[in-house]
Amino acid sequence: MIKLVELEVKCFTLKYTLECGQCFRWDYIEQEDVYIGVIHDRVIKIWQKANMIYVESNNEENLKNVIQEYFDLYKDYFILESKISKIDTNIYESLKHSSGIRILRQPLVEIIISYIISANNNIKRISKSVNLISQRYGDRISFDGKDYFLFPTLEQLKSVTIEDFLSTGVGFRARYIKNTVEKLIDNSQILEKLKDATTEQARQILLEFQGVGTKVADCILLFSIGRSEVFPVDVWVKRIMEKLYFKKNTSMEEILAYAKEHFREDAGIVQQHLFYNVREGNI
DNA sequence: TGCCAGGCCTTCC
DNA sequence: GGAAGGCATGGC
């Protein structure tokens, strides 16, 4: 049974939000101009026309709230964007190409593992691996005559070996994933603790996982638990920060200090606009 | 075809 | 404690 939810939205661009590199499992279906993906335990088909979004799912229960939570629709991005557009002209210009990006609130376990996979990797291959892990170990859901797969639970990942992970194309990160799954199962409190902790406390907890350094930790903090003040710096963000603000090769410490001072509590969303636009060749 | 990728770990000084 | 090298492997 397919149910539909309609929502009026402000300052939300579905395309930018799903294609800006923060998520790895949404497919664009060109013929229908829709996106299909999985949020937690349900399949979601979503599309946008002007300021309306339309949602279908295999599971109607609480669907509207799930969508609002996932796409951060409770937050007023109109106010947020007008605020950051005043920081400097780089951000003002950048926003012209990417207004409506929302920072998603994605499932924590999926994001921890996805971003461990992201290290020294490319987005296509990250997607491929995360999808393979879901297909092999997650629950199958039929929707619209097709099969979709949930990201596996920790219980489902428990018996997956390093060799199994290797065969999903994650390379040297296989042992980090295995180790992280074990750690999460052994410390069942840790996920709740992460959500309740201060950002700095949460970062320290994440840094204890193998395969999680400062950049991956900040991605988890930003793309899953809404810590909007963090500023993940990968090779793309480093390059564009050097180009726009420093005009020379610059250390990570200096870039982070600059972001903290100038972008402050909104560094995360600024970072995502820069990341999207530098990759699109807009800036 | 060789370089690059949403970096991190280990080793060595 | 900081720098350098190694790492799996597909994408382009």
pLDDT at A11 over 80: yes
Q: Which of residues 155-214 of A touch strand C (CB under 7 A)?
A: 166, 169, 171-172
Mean pLDDT for all residues in chain A: 97
pLDDT at A157 over 70: yes
Distance A119 CA to C10 C1' (A): 14
| Rounded average pLDDT over A78-103 | 98
| Rounded average pLDDT over A246-252 | 94
Distance A170 CA to B13 C1' (A): 32
| Rounded average pLDDT over A111-129 | 98
pLDDT digits (tens, 9 = 90+) for A257-272: 999 999 999 999 999 9
| Element spanning A117, H or E | helix A108-117
Count CA within 13 A, CB hemisphere, residue A37: 22
Share of chain A above pLDDT 70, in %: 99
Give yes or no for CB of A21 within 7 Å of strand C.
no
Please tell me the pTM assigned to this model. 0.98
Distance A211 CA to B8 C1' (A): 6
Q: Which nucleotides of C are covered by protein (CB under 7 A)?
A: 7-12
Give how far Cα A273 sits from Cα of A36, A91, A212, A220, A283, Å: 23, 8, 23, 17, 10
Q: Which nucleotides of B are covered by protein (CB under 7 A)?
A: 4-9
pLDDT digits (tens, 9 = 90+) for A209-225: 999 999 999 999 999 99
pLDDT at A174 over 90: yes
Q: Give the pLDDT score at A143.
A: 96
A234/A249 Cα distance (integer angstroms): 14
Work out the pLDDT band at A9, boundaries 50, 70, 90.
very high
| Rounded average pLDDT over A75-87 | 98
- Tell me the nt nearest to A118, Cα to C1': B6
Give how far Cα A57 sits from Cα of A51, A67, A182, Å: 20, 11, 32
Work out the pLDDT band at A1, boundaries 50, 70, 90.
low
| Rounded average pLDDT over A21-39 | 98
Query: Who's near A124: CB < 8 A, 6+ residues apart?
Result: none
pLDDT at A37 over 70: yes
Give yes or no for CB of A122 within 7 Å of strand C.
yes
